[in-house]
Amino acid sequence: LEQRQLGEIEDAMFREQHKLAVVFEVDWLIESCRDWLKGKMDTAAGGQDKRFVFEESWYIFEKWGAKCVVDGLVSIFASKNNSTFITEYMLDVDGHLKTGQNRHIAQTGGQ
């Protein structure tokens, strides 16, 4: 069989694509979606990109229990300067973080 991959998709389509992969238990598509997100994590430079990958990672963890996605984000972000992102994110959510989000957002600042 030919190796299947997701290819390029728009950020706005990612959550739905991942959801369909999980609901219909399409393992190669789940893996491909998560690889796509990991690629976005690796290249996220600005606040908007970092916010997108943080929120998508958190959603996958919260909805599907995939802690490995959040752990991957923390691992990748720990080596980046995220002080501006963390400050802007914390100010923007204004006390509306879900349980556990504050710990994960703080971990992106490094250990």
What pLDDT does 1 receive?
Answer: 44
> pTM of this prediction?
0.87
- Average pLDDT, whole number, for the chain? 89
Question: In whole angstroms, what is the distance from residue 66 CA to residue 70 CA?
Answer: 8
Question: In whole angstroms, what is the distance from residue 80 CA to residue 82 CA?
Answer: 6
For the stretch 68-98, pLDDT in tens is 999 999 999 988 888 898 888 888 876 677 7
Question: In whole angstroms, what is the distance from residue 98 CA to residue 76 CA?
Answer: 22
pLDDT at 2 over 60: no
Dihedral sign for Cα atoms in the order 32, 33, 34, 38: positive
Radius of gyration of the chain (CA): 14
Question: 11-23 vs 47-64: helix axis angle to the nearest 10?
Answer: 10
